[in-house]
Structure 1
Amino acid sequence: MAGALRITEGDDRVVVELHRPEVRNAIDRQMVDELHAVCASLEQTPRILILTGSDGVFASGADIAELRERRRDDALAGINSTLFARIAALPLPVIAALDGHALGGGAELAFAADFRLGTPRLRLGNPETGLGILPAAGATWRLKELVGEPLAKEILLAGRILSAEEALDVRLVSTLHEPEDLLTAAHELADRIGRQDPLATRITKSVFHAPREAHPVIDQLAQAVLFESEAKFDRMQGFLDRKKSS
């Protein structure tokens, strides 16, 4: 059976292309399993993850033919939600490069990323209630955090699909690029992330997602770890040396 992903590995990043063009990159159980394997690798060896689609589509949603046959126990297993939570919790940032449709489960996968870039033909939303279900893989709470309650309700309860410009206006995507430039823009963002200290980036992401009641203690403990790191001394000394010579 052909794989559902095309994976390109680099020293500091992994590019994962969703590749089920015959069904517009719909997310099925095979794709979920293969993405879990990617997560296992990135948990073991932290690198930046770039998620992208193929043939002008990020992901049209969950595979409806497969979803049609799922029952109560499948829902309780959290097939997609468990994966998307794992992606969101990866040690280093996740970049979603979104072209064409990012709908339903495809939108929820994008919401789990730390950064979202788009193209002018992006269409982003959650039409699940029109299919008699709800978006149970993160949209009901991540979307409210990302865009606020009023717009989240329009998307979740009234089936509103955002255009690229609308998504940009509410900062659901940070930038728009022509389709042929999208992956380059994702790599440029990964380059900027890669110039930061990896340990500092990793710890900052963890602290950012900590519950409110954990602050400020967790910030202080995290800073204590970083204050002892070799990179902190090297990078600060480099800053002082450059300032002295300027």
Structure 2
Amino acid sequence: MSHTLDASEFTAIRVEEREDRLHAILNRPEVRNAIDATMVAELHAVCAHLEQTPKILILSGTEVEGRDGTTKGLFASGADIGQLRERRRDDALRGINSGLFDRIHTLPMPVIAAIDGVALGGGAELAWAADFRIATPSLKLGQPETGLGITAAAGAQWRLKELVGEPVALELLLTGRILDAQESLELKLVTELHEPAELIDAAHALADRIAKQDPLAVRISKKVFHMPREAHPHVDDLAQAILFESEAKFDRMQAFLDRKKK
């Protein structure tokens, strides 16, 4: 039986939940969705729920009013600089954002980041923690930390290298260059571009494609995919041994054979 998360007391994110997925909407438009302690705590609560009740997670931002009075999409502008300025050595060693983003990355079911507009600093690192990233043409994606006298310490140092290779990762980390949508698509940092009005529907369409698969096979495939190289092929064999005994494997394969007979 699927349980739902009680998010009635949340103030930094909004939650929309279905039987097979949960949509978490970052919702601090007054500070450009800066990631603060409240948002971190509420995202930890989302993770705790999804660890107990595995579902696909969709992460998205909200709309903000630009300086010109128009409404624009925004994923997350990074950590709250006001809070960040006051953090000291012991705060860094606690790994406030890095611990959360790692928890998101290791959730049982896939994570989809639907990025409209800006994802900078910690906002970009939150996006790197997802399994899939889709975006809008207004995307601005990057790591400006060195310009603020700090380093990108919530995953970008190693996830970017895995995603785009060392030369591009170093350029983004050491020059603070901000990528636009087309560059991000060419680098495969995002895999789809959609107009803002269509972005969330596109995220749900991707979730639909995942949800059509066997949930246990998806969970095990995700876990095996992220195993270190030295664990393969042994872990693959163990994973397949588990799935070979699952009821869904017999049912799905029989259904495939029955369709072929028609």
TM-score of the two chains, using structure 1 as the length reference: 0.99
Which residue, 32, 47, 65 being the options, matches 1:24? 32
* Residue pair 2:185, 2:192 contacting (<8 A) in 1 also: yes
Segments of structure 2 that go 5 or more residues without pairing to the other structure are 1-8, 64-72
Counterpart amino acid of 1:3?
T
Look up the match of 1:161: 178
Look up the match of 1:197: 214
**Distance across 2 between alignment mates of 1:30 and 1:147:** 31
Look up the match of 2:122: 105
| CA offsets 1:39-67 (integer angstroms, 9 cap, x no match) | 00000000000000001100001000000
Counterpart amino acid of 1:127?
P
Shift of 1:2: 6.2
Look up the match of 1:117: 134
Shift of 1:10: 0.5
Which residue, 223, 246, 251 being the options, matches 1:206? 223
* Residue pair 2:62, 2:75 contacting (<8 A) in 1 also: yes
Look up the match of 1:9: 17
Instruction: Tell me the secondary structure at the aligned position of residue 117 of structure 1.
Output: strand
Shift of 1:90: 0.2
**Distance across 2 between alignment mates of 1:99 and 1:82:** 24
Shift of 1:159: 0.8
The percent identity for this pair of structures is: 71
**Distance across 1 between alignment mates of 2:186 and 2:87:** 36
Supply the RMSD in Å over aligned alpha carbons: 0.7
* Residue pair 2:15, 2:24 contacting (<8 A) in 1 also: yes
**Distance across 1 between alignment mates of 2:241 and 2:92:** 42
Residues 17 and 227 from structure 1, CA distance in 2 versus in 1: closer, same or farther, beyond 3 angstroms?
Answer: same
Counterpart amino acid of 1:30?
T
* Residue pair 2:35, 2:122 contacting (<8 A) in 1 also: yes
Look up the match of 1:175: 192
Instruction: Tell me the secondary structure at the aligned position of residue 141 of structure 2.
Output: strand
Segments of structure 1 that go 5 or more residues without pairing to the other structure are none
Shift of 1:15: 0.3
Instruction: Tell me the secondary structure at the aligned position of residue 57 of structure 1.
Output: strand
Number of aligned residue pairs: give it: 245
| CA offsets 1:98-126 (integer angstroms, 9 cap, x no match) | 01110000000000000000000000000
Instruction: Tell me the secondary structure at the aligned position of residue 11 of structure 2.
Output: coil
Residues 187 and 2 from structure 1, CA distance in 2 versus in 1: closer, same or farther, beyond 3 angstroms?
Answer: closer
**Distance across 2 between alignment mates of 1:116 and 1:99:** 11
Shift of 1:237: 0.3
